[in-house]
């Protein structure tokens, strides 16, 4: 029996998960760390934190599972996307990593569009320039820290710094590579045209691999830190959203992954490098070899419900909060909620977008407001579905929902009715780390391909189909869609 580890280097913790050849999870361990906000809009992190947490988490999960370290057959990597790690010619870190949630690069995004042209940028990379992506961070360092840029020789993403510490190799998977917007999406590799326009030497960038390809083996020095034998294969893995889609089985066209956490992510696999012409959806390579994906991101999904609870009913558990909502009719008696509490990304990349209740009357009670929040978030997530359909994703047969919000049967029913699609739950709750472990097991030959790995290990545990309220939401959705354009001038003035 061989065992496989998935490492998830997230923004706030590194998780290690261990599975056996059948995909059964035998242990999971996590160690937290902070990130810094040294100036408004800035978000940075010391890469040393990731390596320290990796070594602790791997030692803990191997001990917890009680397996022989010599039986570890491979390690897969995943983690936060879009972060910038700069190393010098000796492989030493030059400055703290600039993270995905850093917002300082608005001017650099404009500069990228000016150099390439917005339409050409989207045509090559599948994406518009947004502050979260890696490319504008590089331009920011070029402009504001030229002494750092002059010493830079290697550009990595957070999980790939962990890979470098594991193997000594500079490598990246193609899903995370596409998230830098330095990729030629169709060619699944770095774009010479984009690199030339942004004055980034091609040899600064790591070699690219598919998610289930081996990228190197565990160094003796790293093995000593981790309590593992040297020589264990390390596999490509993927950015957290692509790996999470593997971990929930969203690896075929028509099966969509919906993560209903603080933020909401709608993820749909495509068989080719499709793009949304205006760049309102992210279009990246998948961790699955030869596959791509669309991704829409809502910044305040279950976070909207948490704000609502903490603000108006602090200390109330969610079951108590939602129980009376079942007695409120669909549409909350004419009340709509706009869930842009922290700005928005999809379909409106607008940091100044704001939340709103619209239609309040004296007839509305607190449960009406709660139902409107659930419905407003569901409408906002449907926006991503509609963009995907418009970009050529014709048939959405099933939505696999994960995250804290997925635990509510009521919310699952509202989602099914709003989307007009079957909502299912699955037996895997550790998405990204589990997906990384499956990619490693596939690369090691346990499964013939990623799709077969998902078929063998991931099962549907519950299903919710559209009901009678679907017709109500079809009438309300266009009204919801009209709120943002109507209120935008007021949001921006405020």
Q: Which residues are bridge partners to 344 per DSSP? A: 350
Q: Is 333 a catalytic residue?
A: no
Q: Which of 8, 102, 240, 417 is catalytic?
A: 240
- Token pair listed for 44: 């940075």
User: With contact defined as beta carbons under 8 Å apart, do 432 and 244 qualify?
Assistant: yes
What is the DSSP secondary structure assignment for residue 324, as one 8-state letter?
A: G
Partners of 233 in beta bridges? 217
Q: Which two tokens stand for residue 332?
A: 């909350």
- Characterize 306-338 residue by residue with b for buried, 16 or more Cβ atoms within 10 angstroms of its Cβ, and e for exposed: bbbbeeeeeeeebeebbeebeebebbbebbbbb
Strand 72-79 with 3-9, pairing: parallel
- DSSP strand pairing (398-402 vs 255-260): parallel
Angle of helix 158-167 versus helix 47-65 axis, rounded to 10 = 70
Phi, psi of 476 (to 5 degrees): -80, -30
- Name residue 20's beta-bridge partners: 3
Backbone angles phi, psi at 387, to 5 degrees: -65, -40
What residues contact 477, with CB distance under 8 A and at least 6 apart?
Answer: 379, 382, 418
Catalytic residues: 240
């Amino acid at each position: 029996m061989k065992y496989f580890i998935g490492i998830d280097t997230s923004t706030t913790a590194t998780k290690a998960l261990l599975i056996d050849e059948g995909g059964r999870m035998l242990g999971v361990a996590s160690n937290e760390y902070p990130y810094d906000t040294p100036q408004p809009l800035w978000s940075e992190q010391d890469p040393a934190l990731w390596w320290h947490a990796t070594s602790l988490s791997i030692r803990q999960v191997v001990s917890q599972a009680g397996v022989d370290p010599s039986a570890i057959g491979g390690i897969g990597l995943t983690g936060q996307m879009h972060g910038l790690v700069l190393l010098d010619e000796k492989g030493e870190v030059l400055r703290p990593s600039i993270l995905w949630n850093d917002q300082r690069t608005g001017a650099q995004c404009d500069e990228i569009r000016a150099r390439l042209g917005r339409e050409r940028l989207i045509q090559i990379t599948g994406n518009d320039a947004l502050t979260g992506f890696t490319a504008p961070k590089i331009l920011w360092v070029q402009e504001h820290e030229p002494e750092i840029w002059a010493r830079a020789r290697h550009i990595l993403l957070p999980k790939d710094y962990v890979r470098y510490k594991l193997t000594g190799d500079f490598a990246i998977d193609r899903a995370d590579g596409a998230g830098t917007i330095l990729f030629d999406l169709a060619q699944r590799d770095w774009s010479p045209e984009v690199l030339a326009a942004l004055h980034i030497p091609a040899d600064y960038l790591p070699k690219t691999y598919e998610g289930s390809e081996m990228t190197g083996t565990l160094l003796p020095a790293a093995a000593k830190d981790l309590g593992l034998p040297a020589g264990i294969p390390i596999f490509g893995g993927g950015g957290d959203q692509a790996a999470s889609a593997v971990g929930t089985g969203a690896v075929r066209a028509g099966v969509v992954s919906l993560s209903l956490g603080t933020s909401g992510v709608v993820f749909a696999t495509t068989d080719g490098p499709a793009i949304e012409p205006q760049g309102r959806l992210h279009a990246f390579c998948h961790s699955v070899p030869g596959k791509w994906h669309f991704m829409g991101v809502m910044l305040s999904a279950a976070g909207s419900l948490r704000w609502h609870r903490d603000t108006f009913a602090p200390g109330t558990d969610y079951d108590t909060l939602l129980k009376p909502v079942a007695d409120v009719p669909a549409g909350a008696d004419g009340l709509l909620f706009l869930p842009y509490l922290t700005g928005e990304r999809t379909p409106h990349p607008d940091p100044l977008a704001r939340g709103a209740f619209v239609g309040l009357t004296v007839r509305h009670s607190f449960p009406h407001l709660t139902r409107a929040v659930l419905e407003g978030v569901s409408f906002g997530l449907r926006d991503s579905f509609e963009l995907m359909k418009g970009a050529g994703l014709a048939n959405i047969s099933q939505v696999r929902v994960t995250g804290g919000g997925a635990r509510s049967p009521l919310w699952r029913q509202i989602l099914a009715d709003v989307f007009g699609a079957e909502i299912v739950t699955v037996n895997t709750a550790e998405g990204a780390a589990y997906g990384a472990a499956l990619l490693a097991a596939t690369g090691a030959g346990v499964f013939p391909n990623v799709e077969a790995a998902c078929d063998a290990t991931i099962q549907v545990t519950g299903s919710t189909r559209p009901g009678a309220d679907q017709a109500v939401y079809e009438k309300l959705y266009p009204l919801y869609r009209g709120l943002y354009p109507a209120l935008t001038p007021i949001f921006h003035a405020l």
